[in-house]
Amino acid sequence: MKQPQNEMIQKECGVNTTYRPQYHMLPPRGWINDPNGFCTYDKQYHLFYQYYPYGVTNTLMYWGHSTSKDLKVWAYKGIALSPDRPYDNKGIFSGTAIEKNGKLLLMYTGVSTDEDGRTRQAQCIASGGTSFEKNSINPVILPDVLPAGCRKEDFRDPKIWEENGVFYCLTIAADLKGFGKLLLFKSTDMIRWEFVSVALSGESMGLGTLWECPDYFRLGDRDVILLSTVSATPSGVKMQNKYSAVWLLGRFDLKTGIFQAEQWDQLDDGTDFYAPQTTRGLNGERIMIAWQQSWERNIPPAELGHNWAGHMTLPRELECIGDRICQKPAIDSACFEGEAVVHNNVRITGQQTLSGIRGSNVYLRVCADLSGCDSLTISLYKKDTEATLLVIDRAKKQIVLDRSHGGYPISGAEMVSGASNRCVSPLQDETFGSVTLEIFLDSGAIEVFCKETGRCLTSRVYPKLHGEDIAFEAKGEAIISIEAHQFLQD
């Protein structure tokens, strides 16, 4: 799993790898945020991303580029797009990619300023395979074509796809009140674009003000749109992050250009998940990846001078089950080496540890029978009084992830007090007696998948004490079976 090229760059740039994930995707140095252009091409996965290779802030956005044959090992391919033209000299913002005429075609937002110093955002294209050339006609969609009442400075994040010989593009715009609008364009050649409609308008939906990073795809006979939202209205334990991602199930009529939303929900129940993007996998499945971070939150590696900031989530497979989108990891224990440590039908009363169940880079599969207890707490990265707590609360019918005492303090501009450090995932079945969790730990990156609900909690911690113990504590008696796989570097 080692990547010698990455290690050489890290050494040259003085990168401190203390908290760097080992099996999550990130470039060898610098800042990253939104995934861009996630696609399959030439029998492998391509992932582009918002990238600033020369520091640990989002000062001036480039597109980085990495590839993978299996979603497990990623090869860094360097910078794909640089902000070097008048129409994008203030940044290469988010976008998507498709294959056209045997090449990858990238569509992105170019950010610039006009003669009066006002920000303008426009949609641009580039094509290639290993290197990319910007089209001489750029920009291909100017903000001048926006419908009345939209701001030219908030017009970005194109999602492109082809259907029956027609290319479609969804972008985000903001109206004069700051509410998001989802705009549909179409083209026959990717160069000349026609505005079709406002596919969805945000003011009446309660899904925040500005929207970002739309994605569109079909699962079975349902149309799905993903949106990243800003300042959505909290609803119970949901939407407590200021920056949250949601899925919407419905019907998209491309003739009228209108999306009729029928159901929606939060996409991830954790503290650190934003700007998800999907692609059709090499086996036809729908794969999603996102930025494992949230805006307006401090990032300890950047504060500590480690010369890197941000990384992606693990890739996930999406399924539509009934009226909801469910997720499961797109990688499994085959990513990990060495023999599994297994304990079956262990009775947990009070707090205890289990032989061989520890580590900072580990996969855990926990099957818990909770019929004899009110809750089961799993302490991760535990040392002395420091730990991140994962609580399966049978009494309250929820799973809680609490990083309040997990290490370096993390704070942000949240909608609800305490949401920076505590998140909740609901358990729908009021009479459940057992829960199966898949838990991925990667140098402080935490992703928890619940089999019964298809929901996830994604978070990021930075333990000061570098604890590797994992402890279990039941209120009452829990019976657990656990399988653990350590991630071992070559």
User: From CA 179, how far away is CA 177, in angstroms rounded?
Assistant: 6
Contact 79, 51 (CB under 8 A): yes
- Provide the 8-state DSSP code for 188: S
β-partners of residue 161 are 168
* H/E stretch holding 10: helix 4-12
First to last CA, the chain: 6
User: From CA 377, how far away is CA 394, in angstroms rounded?
Assistant: 11
β-partners of residue 262 are none
CA torsion sign, 230 to 231 to 235 to 240? positive
User: Which residues are identified as catalytic?
Assistant: 34
User: From CA 249, how far away is CA 226, in angstroms rounded?
Assistant: 9
Contact 226, 245 (CB under 8 A): yes
- Tokens 């070559």 appear where? 490
β-partners of residue 169 are 160, 185
Residue 386 structure tokens: 């420091």
User: From CA 149, how far away is CA 342, in angstroms rounded?
Assistant: 60
* H/E stretch holding 300: helix 300-303
Contact 227, 213 (CB under 8 A): yes
Peptide bond into 21 cis (omega under 30): no
